[in-house]
Each structure stands twice: as structure tokens, then as C-alpha cells.
Amino acid sequence: MRLGYLHFSRFPAQRKVIEVPALAGKPFVLEEEVRGQRRVAFASSSALKAGIRSGLTLTAATALEPSLQHFPYRAEDELRALTSLGEALMCVAPGFQLSEPDGMWFDASAAHLFGGEEGLCLRALEVCSGHGYRGRAVVASELFTARTLARHGSRPVLVVAEGDSARALAPLPLVALEGREREAFAALGLSTLGEVAALPAGAVTARGGAAGLQAHTLCRGGDDTPFVAAVLEEVLEERMTLDWPAESFEPLQFALKTVLDRLCARLAGRKRAAVRLNFVLKLDPTGQMELPLTLARPTARAKLLLDLARHRLSDLRLENPVATISVRVEEHNEDRGQQLALGDTPEGDAALEVVLSRLATTLGEESLFSASLEAVHRPEQAYAARAFRPPASSRGMAGELLPEEEVELPVEEALKERPSRLLAKPATLDAEVTESGELLAAWLLGKRRRVVAMAGPERLGGEWWAQSPYSRDYYRVHFEGLGPAWVFRDAQDGRFYLQGLFD
């Protein structure tokens, strides 16, 4: 099996800069408590230049760099960020296995879809770059080979051919070998993995036992450790604990952006789109607030969700500061994307989504509805109001959202000349007609409007078995100063009626 490995140098520091862009280029560390002392877990590039290293006490690190900023290191935060990135990579790899805190393996079986294994690595790095992370990618046949070359190599992309692992590992320094066996080999004066691989297996076993033989086998490119893909969580939820409780919306929105970016990365990797979200704010020291968010159309775009969340949260008045924010996807659909015609502007479509979602969130889901086609031939009964929300089977374009099985091509063709605004009940027209019965003008909106053009008729009739059968001749009439209207003449009384207006 061919496997890839992605290594992100000082992943926690990269994550912190993504969450707080103002930290870019500044010295900071992530610190944790070790035996009662606050010690550096990870340092930024500027902090490393100042001589700060992992394991140094926070007091000593501050002495080296007085302007040093420090933040708590939480393994849970790093694991969530790494998992989110792994799920985002599912668009190029069917599975991934975490190697916290700074990397992951991924299944390279889909390399042929990207022009080979090097193309797969480049595409994986492109996805990571889109989320703000810089890394190195290696494809090999063994887990140890791929991870070691990614961590200690210098090339951004490397493909190790089958059976060539020992040669690729040979130049790496002995520090690439983990465990106590490294010290034992160093005591023998060895400095590279190639020198370890050159030792006789029997002598290594006699001196180092089973652990020494295992390390020797790894250096020779032998590793039978299986690849175990991570099990995806059924519930899509992201949470983040703030470094300091937020008393205003400004510091809260940075955490909100991070949480939504991770959530949308997971949605995109699974080819899903959110329909309903639930925001939970945990307050300090006590209290909790839940805020639902209903979308007018399923989406996995973090920017759109952030705009809606800002509208939902910016005017809140809370009793206590916010300590933790979490977002849970209550409902999601398959993301089929959106195909635009030439000349369509996605910006306008996105603006409409924001308006509709704000209305649904502020006024309630029942405030928006869409027209659904009904199997009724009478025009005023051919539409029914339904909830403006996507069905479980599909997602539509902007506007009406309908299950695929309800809309067939013959129906669309038959209704392509129907008006978008139908009257609930046809309105009698005060019409002027010629001796032959042709429509000349009509009184509409308090004004006499002359007929400029007229097309038709289209005869509709039916329901002879009902109490109110009908037979009508429909016309598309252009009235002066009003535009096109849908008008019919009733066969029973010979009068003209207004059925609807075209946009």
C-alpha cells in the first residue's frame, strides 16, 4: 500500500497565527505546566531566533525576549485542528491517520487522479495552504519511511519508489530515530540511519534485543505497521475555548471564524453542506446560551456562515463573558455545488442567501416559503406554499427548493410561459372589447390601460366532474404602462379575468 505523510513544522504555532493573524512575525510561545513549572511547548520562528527552545521555563524565555507573548497549550485544540485538516484532505485522499501533534498519514491510492504521486502531494499541499498551513509531503510504502523523511528531510515534495526506502533514509541523521535505541547507537559512534542499517542484524539483536532489532529494521526500510484510517465523527461539531473570556463581540469573532473555518473544512471534505446550525456560548463563570441558525440554501462556505453568525450574535446582551464557543451542524445535505450560466454573478446570489437566511433566523422558519408545483390543471391551484428549506434528497438553486422527483422536464416545459406572480383568485377585468370580442383596453390600478400586444389563445379546460368545471382561453397581454399579464376569457360568461403578472 502506498502512503503519504504531511508534516507541518511547529503545527501549534502555525495554528495560533491562523487564529490570531496579528501574531505573524512576532515572538510568542505556547506553554504548559510540567511538574509545577510553566514551560515552553512550542515557539514561533521569532522566538526561536531569540534563543527560546522547547522545555525552557516561561520565566527564562521572557528574560531572553521581554516582548514575548505566551498562550496556554491545549492538546485538545491541536487535535481538533489537525482532525479538521485531515477531513478537508478527504477531497484528495479516501482516509487519513493522525500523527499528533504535527502531521498525518494519508491514503495515496487516488494518485492516478492527480497525474501521479507527486501530483497528489502537490494537490494535498495546496489544500493545506488554502487553510493557512505550510508543510512537506512524502509518499512511500512504509509509515516510518514517509514520516521520517517528511519530518527530517528538506524537500517540500518527495516520492520514494517501492524498495528504495533504505537508500532514501540512509543520509538522515540519527536524531530521526526515536526511542532509547537512538542513544545506544549514538554510543557506538553512529551518526546516520544508513550506518545503523549497515550493522549486522545478529549483532544488533545480541546487543539491543527486540527493540534494537526493530529500530534496525526500520532504518533498512522495513515497517509492517498497518495504516489505520481515522474513524469520522457522525456529529459535526467544533468548539473552541478562548484564552481569555470575551466581554465584547470583537474578540469573539476571531474564535468564531476559526470554528467555522474548521467546520466548513470538514463539510467540504465530506462533500456535505450545512442546512441548520446551533451555536452554543458557555459563559464565565456560569451560564449558557443557544442560538439556532437556519440557512436559506445549504452551504459549506465559511465566509457566508460567518456573515450570518455576525448578524445573529453581534447584538446579543449577555450576563457574563463568553468562555467557550461551539457550533454544531444539526442538519446537512449532500453538496452538489452550484452550476452558473454564463453571465451569472455569484456575488449577487450570495447576497440573496444572506438576506433570506437573516429573515429566516430573525422572523422564524415559517416566515419564508416557496411555491411548490401541484398535480392540478387549474392554474390558481397549481401551486402550494411549502417551507423554504432544502429537502433531504437534494439542494436547489437560489429560490425554490424542491425534491428532484417532483420536477420533471415536461412540467417545466409546460410552465415556462407561466407568470411568476399568480393571483390567489382570478380578478374580473373591467374590459373594453370590440364587436368581434377582441380585448382593446382594461381598467387596472385605477387607470385605463390600452392593449399594446396580445398573444394566444391557449385553451385550458377540465374537471368536468367537479362542482365548478371550467373552460378558458388564456392570453399573454401587454398593457400600456404595466407590462405583460396573464389574462383569460371564461367560456361560460364570456368575460375577461386577470390570472397573474409576469416579471
Strands 369-373 and 421-428: unpaired
- Are residues 320 and 396 both part of a single domain? no
Q: Has residue 207 been placed in a domain?
A: no
Alpha-carbon distance of 350 to 355, in angstroms, equals 9
- CATH number of the domain encompassing residue 300: 3.30.1490.100
Identify the domain boundary among 119, 143, 162: 162
- Are residues 115 and 145 both part of a single domain? yes
Flag the least confident range among 61-70, 174-183, 379-388, 408-417: 408-417
User: For the segment 244-264, what is each residue's pLDDT rounded down to a tens digit?
Assistant: 888 888 888 888 999 999 999
Picking from 500, 492, 496, the residue whose alpha carbon sits closest to that of residue 443 is: 496
Q: Has residue 72 been placed in a domain?
A: yes
- The confidence score (pLDDT) of residue 449 equals 92
Identify the domain boundary among 162, 193, 212: 162
* Contacts (Cβ under 8 Å, ≥6 apart) of 393: 403, 404, 405
Alpha-carbon distance of 488 to 499, in angstroms, equals 7
Beta bridge partners, 325, equal: 240, 281
Picking from 43, 104, 99, the residue whose alpha carbon sits closest to that of residue 69 is: 43
Domain that holds residue 12: 3-162
Q: Has residue 167 been placed in a domain?
A: no
Q: Has residue 332 been placed in a domain?
A: yes
- Are residues 35 and 107 both part of a single domain? yes
- Are residues 26 and 139 both part of a single domain? yes
Q: Has residue 227 been placed in a domain?
A: no
Owner of C-alpha cell 498551513: 133
Look at residue 169 and give its three-state secondary structure: helix
User: For the segment 331-355, what is each residue's pLDDT rounded down to a tens digit?
Assistant: 998 887 666 655 556 665 666 667 7
Flag the least confident range among 363-377, 402-416, 453-467: 402-416
- The confidence score (pLDDT) of residue 348 equals 58
Q: What does the CA dihedral 280, 283, 288, 294 come to, rounded to 10 degrees?
A: -30
- The confidence score (pLDDT) of residue 327 equals 94
pTM greater than the 0.75 cutoff: no
Alpha-carbon distance of 124 to 89, in angstroms, equals 7
Flag the least confident range among 80-84, 100-104, 318-322, 353-357: 353-357
Q: What mean pLDDT is predicted for residues 156-179?
A: 93
- Are residues 389 and 436 both part of a single domain? no
- Are residues 428 and 377 both part of a single domain? no
Question: What 3 state SS string does 333-345 have?
Answer: EECCCCCCCCCCC
Q: Has residue 193 been placed in a domain?
A: no
- Are residues 137 and 40 both part of a single domain? yes
Q: What is the DSSP letter of 379?
A: G
- Are residues 263 and 288 both part of a single domain? yes
Q: What is the DSSP letter of 173?
A: B
Domain count, the chain: 4
Q: In what order do the strands lie in the sheet with 37-43?
A: 37-43, 28-34, 69-72
- Are residues 256 and 295 both part of a single domain? yes
Q: What mean pLDDT is predicted for residues 98-127?
A: 95
Q: Has residue 169 been placed in a domain?
A: no
User: For the segment 29-70, what is each residue's pLDDT rounded down to a tens digit?
Assistant: 999 999 899 999 999 999 999 999 999 999 999 999 999 999
User: For the segment 408-446, what is each residue's pLDDT rounded down to a tens digit?
Assistant: 434 444 445 678 788 888 999 999 998 888 899 999 888
Picking from 48, 124, 130, the residue whose alpha carbon sits closest to that of residue 86 is: 124
- CATH number of the domain encompassing residue 64: 3.40.1170.60
- The confidence score (pLDDT) of residue 376 equals 74
Contact in structure between 427 and 498 (CB atoms under 8 Å)? yes
User: For the segment 202-213, what is each residue's pLDDT rounded down to a tens digit?
Assistant: 988 988 899 999
- Are residues 297 and 438 both part of a single domain? no
Owner of C-alpha cell 477531497: 91
- Are residues 379 and 330 both part of a single domain? no
Residue % of the chain over a pLDDT of 70: 89
- Are residues 155 and 11 both part of a single domain? yes
